[in-house]
Structure formats: structure tokens, C-alpha cells
Amino acid sequence: MNHEIVESFSGLVRDKSIDKDILAGIVEDIFGMMVRKKYGLDAKFDVVVNMDKGDIEIYLERQIVEVVENPATQIDVESARKLSGEELEVGEEYVEIIPLVQFGRRLVTTAKQNFTQRIKEIEKELIFSEYSNSLGEIVVGEVYQIRNNDLLIMHNKNELLLPRSEQIPKERFKKGDTVRGVVKEVRKNASNPVVIVSRTDTRFLERLFELEIPEVYDGIIEIKSIAREPGERAKVAVESSDDRIDAVGACVGMKGVRIHAIVRELNNENIDVINYSDEKSTFITRSLAPAKLKSIELDRENGKATVTVEESQVSMAIGKGGQNIRLASKLTGFDIQLVKEGSEYDIDLEEFKEELGEELYNKFAEAGYSTAKEVIDADMEDLIQEIGAEEEKLKEIVALIKKEYEEAEVDEDEDEDDDEQASEGTETEKSAS
């Protein structure tokens, strides 16, 4: 019976990767509990567990006395002589090996339950520790269940969770598919720890670069920053520590073979790889490519950059739905504001934030509208599609912006006329003098 028990414990060592010494300690504690329950808290005993030989021995030590007052710590001389077969005397110590069958079925069952509970707790700690040490690393698992669009993935016999929010949009998996993701978070739970895996996290893209591009893995090329809109587009800024190696060229690979492998993994997400620069103006210029910029004014203290472009370059700089300028802002860490070169009077849309409300203002900004003129000149059907508001509501907003814009424009013109008249008066005075 002892051998069977230890063999089952040894199986746990193999299957769960539980340390032998830790397991032996648990076994000793559990059997010690059994001894105390049967013989009392005062009992003197020793539990010896040999995991290699598959053996458990429980030694109970009692003093030999004439009259027994405490059976847990004493034994009468006649019983001691009979059990040992030796001529023992009063005052000596008698050590008895206790067979497990003496503990009874109920006590053994309780011990098994306690043991199972302790093992579960250790398993939870091992899982938590294993994946906590793997944060930001890629894991590969198999989809074994789909629940409310969340994927349950089996990895090394552990269940990982890939929530819908961490999946790339329009990406679909079925049971049995192999999935790669990065370990994003590990949460402690009443049952097993919850390991959250992500395919939308920027670290997933970074790890894919390390897998596909040896120079990145070796540290010759460093990824300085990443900006992503998962499944749509990403910008990656890279820098080479070796002047002989072109960072962008190495990342793209011959005929784009390296970057295409990453694009396929990310459900055809477009990836722009650009050279990083410590010079912020240069970095911003590269991040807004393919648009050509005329000038950049930096407000380093407030983290803002005002970029001037020709009218023909505006749409390229902004990108579809404002995507290009949004990603460039994330990549560089600057709030980039676009200004058309030689454009007529305009008002920043932020001036209407109070009238629009936070939510509506953000929708306009996300769609790439940054000034009053852009909203006024926009096609109503485009606005309805991009902002997602009702036509009547949008007409009211456009009318409000247009009214304030025209009033402000008149005031601006009057101020310019006053300045011109004042200037002419000054010139007249100078001539007269």
C-alpha cells in the first residue's frame, strides 16, 4: 500500500513538475496530521518518505511504564515486550512502526483530500510563477474551445485565454487551430490562475520581429517604438548599431520576404518600417511618410508638433480615417497638428469641443477632422459614414460651426483692415515729417 501511494506521488512529480523535496515535505505533513489525529497532539513520531524507493514509514515513539496514563506517549512493559519480542525494561523508549491500515478508512480518505488540496495550491503557484516569468513572450497553443468568441487555448497542458478584445479584428479561428500570441497578463483566481494571451499587443509585433529577423534577435537592430491599429496598419521605428547594416532593409528582407511573414501572421496588417532618429523633426517627417512636409514647429514642453504641408499632401499625411497621422503621433510621442500651407483663415476644431461634447469631438478627431473648415467643406454623406451620427444632428453641428467660423472670419478681416489703416497712417505721418 505504501509503495502504491508513493508511486502515485512520483507520478505527480513527473506530470506536474513538482519538486521532489517539496512533495516529500507535503507527504510528511499529511501523514503527521494523521498520526496526531489518531494518537493525540502529544505523540512523538517521525515520518520517513523515500520518493526514489517508493516507501513511507511512520515511527511512533513511546516510553515504557508500569501503568499507562497517556496511551499516546506511553506503553506498558508487557505490551512492549510482546510487540518487540525483546526483554525491554521500564523507562526505556519503545519505537513502533505504524502500518497505514491502522489509521482506518475515514482518516486515510481525509488525508487524501488534504493532499489533493495542497497539490492544487502548488499547481496554481507553479502556473502563476511560470507565466508571470513569461510576460511579453510568445506562446503557441491549440484552440480547444470557443466560448462567446473568446478562445481557450491549450499550452503545455495549461488553459490560456485569448479574449475577443485581444484578437485581431476580422480574424477567425476554429477548434484545433494553432494560435500564437504574447502573454499579456496573469491574474490570480479562486481556481487556477487566468493567463491572458494577446495578438493585438505591441509586444506581439515586437516578438515577431525577433523571430523573423535575426539582427533584431541578436540586438544589432533595436526596435525604438511601435504604433499599431491591429489588423489595419502599424508603424515600427528601428535603429541599427552597425553602420554597415541598413535597419529598414534588414527588417523588410529580400523582396520583402521577412516582413511578409509577419504581415501574414497579423492577418495582412500593413507594416511601415522606418528609420529612427534622435532629431525629432526628422523622426516626425519619416513617420508621416509618404506625405511630404514643408515645415515642422515643435513645442517640446507640451509634446506638440505643428506640421505644415501643401494642400495636395494633406490627404496622404492624414491617411484614411486619420490613421496615418494618428499612428505617427503614437510612434513619435508628439501630438501632431496639420496645417495647410498658405491656407485661408481657419479655427482649430478643439475650440468647439464644449459644443460638440467629448464623445463627438473624439469621433471627429479620429476621422481626421482637425479644423472648422474641414468640417464645413466635408461632404454630408462622408460625415454620416465617418462620424456615425444622424444626418439632422450633423447638419446642426455643421451650421453651428459655420456660423461661428464666419463671424470669427469677419472679425479677423476687420482686424487686418484696422492694422492696414494704422500702417498707412503711420507711413503718412512719416512722409509729412
pLDDT band per the 50, 70, 90 thresholds, residue 344? low
CB 316, CB 285: distance < 8 Å = no
> Would you list the DSSP string of 84-125?
H-S---TT-EEEEE--GGGGHHHHHHHHHHHHHHHHHHHHHH
Least confident segment among 93-102, 344-353, 413-422: 413-422
Is the per-residue pLDDT at 346 higher than 70? no
| Cα gap 75→81, rounded to integer Å | 10
Query: At 41, which amino acid appears?
Result: L
Percent of the chain residues past pLDDT 70, beyond the cut: 86
Percent of the chain residues past pLDDT 90, beyond the cut: 34
Least confident segment among 26-30, 101-105, 311-315: 101-105
pLDDT of amino acid 16: 59
Please give the residue that has the higher pLDDT: either 103 or 306: 306
Please give the residue that has the higher pLDDT: either 195 or 28: 195
Domains of the chain: 2-130 (3.30.1480.10), 135-200 (2.40.50.140), 202-276 (3.30.300.20)
Which of these, 48, 51, 47, 77, lies nearest to 62 by C-alpha position?
A: 77
pLDDT of amino acid 277: 93
Mean pLDDT of the 313-328 span = 88
Beta bridge partners of 93: 63
Mean pLDDT of the 15-31 span = 74
Is the per-residue pLDDT at 429 higher than 80? no
pLDDT band per the 50, 70, 90 thresholds, residue 329? very high
CB 32, CB 45: distance < 8 Å = yes
pLDDT of amino acid 89: 82
| Cα gap 348→337, rounded to integer Å | 9
Joined grid coordinates for residue 51: 520518493
Summarize pLDDT for 125-167 with one digit per residue, the tens.
888 888 999 999 999 999 999 998 899 999 988 899 999 999 9
| Cα gap 52→60, rounded to integer Å | 23
pLDDT band per the 50, 70, 90 thresholds, residue 430? very low
pLDDT band per the 50, 70, 90 thresholds, residue 414? low
pLDDT of amino acid 202: 94
pLDDT band per the 50, 70, 90 thresholds, residue 241? very high
Helix boundaries (H) for 213-306? 214-217, 247-252, 257-265, 280-287
Strand 270-275, strand 233-240: pairing: parallel
Mean pLDDT of the 421-430 span = 45
| Cα gap 55→387, rounded to integer Å | 73
Mean pLDDT of the 72-81 span = 83
Is the per-residue pLDDT at 332 higher than 70? yes
pLDDT band per the 50, 70, 90 thresholds, residue 4? low
Mean pLDDT of the 80-97 span = 81
Average pLDDT, the chain: 83
Joined grid coordinates for residue 361: 469631438
Please give the residue that has the higher pLDDT: either 343 or 205: 205
pTM confidence score: 0.64
pLDDT band per the 50, 70, 90 thresholds, residue 17? low
Please give the residue that has the higher pLDDT: either 26 or 187: 187
Chain centroid offset of residue 395 CA: 42
Please give the residue that has the higher pLDDT: either 23 or 217: 217
Is the per-residue pLDDT at 259 higher than 70? yes
Q: Reduce the DSSP state of residue 390 to 3 states and report it.
A: coil
Please give the residue that has the higher pLDDT: either 389 or 293: 293
Summarize pLDDT for 263-293 with one digit per residue, the tens.
999 999 999 999 999 999 999 999 998 888 8
Is the per-residue pLDDT at 365 higher than 70? yes
Is the per-residue pLDDT at 100 higher than 80? no
| Cα gap 231→28, rounded to integer Å | 54
pLDDT of amino acid 351: 78
